[in-house]
Amino acid sequence: MPAGNRKSTLRVLLVECNNMNKWVGTTMPYEMHVPPLGLMYLASSARAALPHLEMRIVESSLDCPGDAELARILDEFQPDVVGLRSIAFFLEELQRVAAVVRQSCGALIVAGGPIVKAYRRRLFDDVPELDAAVKGEGEETMVRLLAGDSLESLAGVFYRSVDEIVENPDRDEIAAIDRLPFPAYDLIDLDRYEKQLSYAYNHRRQGVLLSSRGCVYHCTYCFSHWQRMRLRSAENVFAEIELLWTRHGIRDFYVVDDIFNVNLKRALAVFSMIRAAGLKPRLYFVNGLRADLATSEFVDRAIEAGAVWFTYAVESATEEIQRLVEKGLDLAKARAIIAYTQRQGVAVNISTMYGFPTENRAMADRTLDWLAELPKPSLLPYHFCLRFFEGCRINQQALDAGWNPGRIGLTSRFSYNDMAMATPTLTKHEMNEIQIEYHRRFGAGNPSAVAAAVGTLRAIGYSDTEIVHMYSVLMRKKIAEVGDLLAAGAA
Ligand code: B12
Ligand code: SF4
């Protein structure tokens, strides 16, 4: 590996280790695949710093769902280093990929992504093939590693030494994130991703945008592996949009920031640059927008700049739970701006959750009643059972509320839409009832909600094929045409 490597070119294979079957269910005819942004960032930084690299990016469930396919890629590429990104949910896939890599070649195996801070040194027990794991932000650590720095001297890693796992100090996060090179879109096949479902369940040439890193809030249930929040400048964000527009022909941009609207002035500046340049992108805020920071001006300017998809993270409409999870959302402001956005005819998703420590049936019902007071239901049925990720403060809150420790850990391995388990304040039956009640009132069980969602999707440019594919995933059954879907709404 690096220090002792005599070859003039260093070959680095980066693998997104995910298993979309596990996520959407094995019977699904369509899968969601999003360009692996973290790996594309790593690749562009590494190439900019070290010209002698040859890099390749693959997504395991898309490019090599079988061991033989993965072994073939390894045999053909002959990597010196294999970098694996994963999240806690996909531990088994990380294990599968690491085992095949170790059987196939002698490359250095390095893990990264949220799974590292979730599992920490225990990851080396679960994945014995690992040589090292990078904590949090990866660009600088990866560059130093590939430049030949020894693992002993490398900040920001865990590594396997002779008979122990060593943790080095954290690396400071990059302050000037405007200096990071834009993600390496040339290393992924955009045509291939267009055939998959995007984060907004349509088939488009996908641009994925991360205009900030981290978050200023500290909700107790949130898993964040960034240390602090950093914003890219409006100019830098616009420059990336323009580059993706001109060089890669991308028209659909999926914004994955934790809170894109945390700084209103910057958000408005991005929108006015898009308009001034005469670009007409479609913007999808697929991750969270903070509703009580949004204003009618934000919504209007966003729509003028092409926004068609807004996602507001509410979680619970009770003051008790807002306090417990330290989110502190102003529910009156949230309701007003959500209603305003819905009236503009764009897609509006409202993410809510149930199953919080100390939450009882009356509190969970209050969230449903709050949703009923809005002009429309959430476009996507986003009412999830709370999941506990290792390292989150809510785990201690659950223990304090008398939860069974074994159950807390278990939930992070389930998908958000998997069935719920009982809590000390909600029986399993009640948990199921809450989910059924949500779908009866706002989701697939309400024909007028489905019809309204279909109308909005068509209005923002979704084809009927996209709508059918989207609902096949959401309802976990194959729907042949939109007519069937509207009829199925009553089922
Ligand atoms: C986009 C996104 C998705 C997309 C696409 C996923 C993808 N391609 O990664 C979709 C919608 C499919 C998705 C789904 C889910 N997601 Co998601 N998702 C995100 C989101 C919003 C952004 C990810 C991203 O692009 N970040 C930006 C890049 C730059 O960061 P990064 O990938 O972490 O990479 C950096 C470092 O981690 C490191 N790094 C990463 N890989 C490697 C590899 C090596 C070798 C090295 C050295 C370094 C390194 O360097 C990178 C650059 O600094 C994050 C939240 C967030 N803000 O990060 C959640 C997040 C990753 N998702 C999460 C979860 C739980 C899920 C689901 C399991 C939800 C569910 N239960 O149904 C599903 C699983 C399906 C799936 N395929 O991922 C959690 C993971 C928590 C955990 N403890 O593991 C997160 C952190 C959200 C949260 N706070 O809960 N997700
Ligand atoms: S849940 Fe959202 S607002 Fe809260 S800390 Fe996480 S990213 Fe920030």
pLDDT band at residue 490 under the 50/70/90 scheme: very low
Looking at residue 4, its pLDDT comes to 45
- Which stretch of 22-31, 54-63, 74-83, 162-171 has the lowest confidence by average pLDDT? 22-31
Residues 192-221 have pLDDT tens digits of 999 999 999 999 999 999 999 999 999 999
Q: Which atom of ligand 1 is nearest to the CA of 32?
A: 12
Tokens of 31: 């899968």
Q: What is the CATH number of domain 3-167?
A: 3.40.50.2300
Which ligand places an atom closest to the C-alpha of 315? 2
pLDDT reported for residue 80: 98
Beta bridge partners of 57: 14
* pLDDT over 70 percentage in the chain: 95
Strand extents, DSSP E, 2-153: 10-16, 53-59, 81-85, 108-112, 132-134
Ligand nearest to the CA of 262: 2
Cβ(219) to ligand 2 under 6 A?
yes
Q: How far is CA 268 from the centre of its chain?
A: 24
Cα distance between the two ends of the chain: 58
Question: What pLDDT was estimated at residue 6?
Answer: 46
Strands, E assignment, 35-127: 53-59, 81-85, 108-112
416 band by pLDDT with thresholds 50, 70 and 90 = low
The β-bridge relationship of strands 81-85 and 53-59 is unpaired
Q: What pLDDT score was predicted for residue 26?
A: 55
pLDDT > 80? residue 126: yes
- Cα–Cα dist 168/180, whole Å: 24
Question: Which atom from ligand 2 is nearest to the alpha carbon of 327?
Answer: 4
Are 68 and 161 within 8 A, CB to CB? no
Return the structure tokens found at 35: 């360009």
CA–centroid distance, residue 19 to ligand 1 (Å): 13
Is residue 75 predicted with pLDDT exceeding 90?
yes
Measured over the CA atoms of residue 386, residue 434, residue 25 and residue 311, the dihedral's sign is negative
User: For residues 363 and 391, which has the higher predicted lDDT (pLDDT)?
Assistant: 363
Give the integer Cα–Cα distance in Å for 461 and 170: 45
Q: How far apart are CA 142 and CA 135, in angstroms?
A: 11
The predicted model gives 378-383 an average pLDDT of 94
**Ligand 1 binding residues, C-beta < 6 A:** 16, 18, 20, 23, 32, 34, 36-39, 41-42, 83-85, 87-89, 110, 112-115, 118, 134, 137-139, 141-142, 199, 210, 222-224, 256, 258, 287, 387, 389, 415-416
Residue linked to tokens 């898309």: 62
Read off the pLDDT of residues 285-326 as tens digits, 9 standing for 90 and up.
999 899 999 999 999 999 999 999 999 999 999 999 999 999
Average pLDDT over residues 412-426: 77
Nearest C-alpha neighbor of 283 from the set 347, 230, 235, 236: 347
What average pLDDT does range 79-94 have in this prediction?
Answer: 96
Name the pLDDT band for 7 (thresholds 50, 70, 90). low
Ligand closest to the CA atom of residue 220? 2
pLDDT at 65: 94
Confidence of residue 411 (pLDDT cuts 50, 70, 90): confident
Distance CA 452, CA 464 (A): 14
Closest CA to 259 of 190, 359, 327, 194: 327
Give distance in angstroms: CA of 250 to centre of ligand 2. Answer: 29
Alpha helices by DSSP H, 219-377: 234-248, 264-276, 296-304, 319-324, 331-343, 361-372
pLDDT of residue 257: 97
CA of 143 relative to ligand 2 center, distance in Å: 29
The reported pLDDT for the residue numbered 410 is 72
pTM for this entry? 0.96
Assign 405 a pLDDT band (cuts: 50, 70, 90): confident
Phi first, then psi, for residue 9 (nearest 5°) are -110, 135
The residue among 316, 324, 330 whose CA lies nearest residue 434 is 316
Q: State which ligand 2 atom lies nearest to the alpha carbon of 315.
A: 1
Superfamily designation of domain 197-442: tm_1862 like domain (3.80.30.20)
pLDDT in tens, 148-198: 999 999 999 999 998 899 999 999 999 999 999 999 999 999 999 999 999
Please give the residue that has the higher pLDDT: either 50 or 411.
50
289 Cα: distance to centroid of ligand 2 (angstroms): 10
pLDDT at residue 409 is higher than 80: no
Residue 275: is its pLDDT beyond 50?
yes
**What's the average model confidence in pLDDT over 253-273?**
98
φ, ψ at 452 (rounded to 5°): -65, -40
Whether 5 shows a pLDDT value over 60: the answer reads: no
Give the residue-averaged pLDDT of 107-118: 96
Atom of ligand 2 nearest to the CA of 224: 6
Q: Where are the domains of the chain?
A: 3-167, 197-442, 444-491
Q: How high is the mean pLDDT of the chain?
A: 93
Compute the distance from residue 308 Cα to the ligand 2 centre, in Å.
22
Mutate which of 210, 212, 219 for ligand 2? The one with the most ligand atoms within 8 Å of its CB, which is 219
- What tokens appear for 448 in the block? 């007028």
Tens digits of per-residue pLDDT, 157-166? 999 998 899 9
pLDDT, position 24 = 62
What is the arithmetic mean of pLDDT over 3-26? 77
Pocket lining: 214 vs ligand 2, CB cutoff 6 Å = no
Residue 491 has pLDDT above 70, yes or no: no
Which contacts (CB < 8 Å, 24+ apart) does range 415-420 have?
Answer: 415/22, 415/23, 415/89, 416/384, 416/385, 416/387, 417/384, 418/385, 419/385, 420/354, 420/355, 420/385
User: Looking at residue 408, what is its pLDDT?
Assistant: 81
pLDDT, residue 165, reads 98
Residue 111 buriedness (CB in 10 A; 0-12 / 13-18 / 19+)? buried
